Amino acid sequence: MAEFTVRTLGCADAADYREIRLAALKGTPQAFGSTWEAEAERPLSHFAERLATSVVLAAYGRAGVIGMAGYKQHGGARDRHKAFVWGTYVRPDMRRHGVALRLMQELIVSAAGCVEQLTLMVVEGNVEAQALYRRCGFEVYGVEPRALKGPAGYADEILMVRFL
């Protein structure tokens, strides 16, 4: 089992967040709504701002940042009891070492202090991610057809929820 730690990132960690975010977008482009090309050009301040408006947890191993998962609480008067989980990613060489599970477990604990439910979207066909989320107590509540469009065409996204 690989040794790693998990902690919440702050604005001062923008470079680490940028590094893992770009690795995610480059390594698994079909899993994200944004693209590497769109985000690689953004200044470091953009990544710091995202850390200021969302909760992002990162896993660190011997080689530095190896994974991430984030959530953002809704801000409306009637939906602030919810948060949206986004950006879950683990570097390929660190997969199957419990990194994603630990990130999600710690994310759930963190979110339980401020929201009542978590929602997320996962690209249909990403069975590993779907299994992870089910293991963490998320349930499917729908499918958004043609949610993403890329060079290979459209991809549906499975909508999942976990009540805290």
pLDDT at 74 over 70: yes
CB-based contacts of 113, cutoff 8 Å, min separation 6: none
Domain tally, the chain: 1
Q: What does the alpha-carbon distance between residue 151 and residue 36 come to, in Å, rounded to a whole number? A: 14
Residue 133, domain CATH: 3.40.630.30
Mean pLDDT for 4-18 is: 97
Residue 150 has pLDDT above 90, yes or no: no
pLDDT value at residue 1: 59
Average pLDDT, the chain: 95
Q: Encode pLDDT of 100-144 as tens digits.
A: 999 999 999 999 989 999 999 999 999 999 999 999 999 999 999
Sign of CA dihedral 142, 20, 83, 97: positive
Can you give the pLDDT at residue 57?
98
| For residues 47-62, average pLDDT | 97
Q: Which pTM does this prediction carry?
A: 0.93
Residue 96: domain span? 5-163
What pLDDT sits at residue 152?
85
Supply the pLDDT for residue 2. Answer: 73
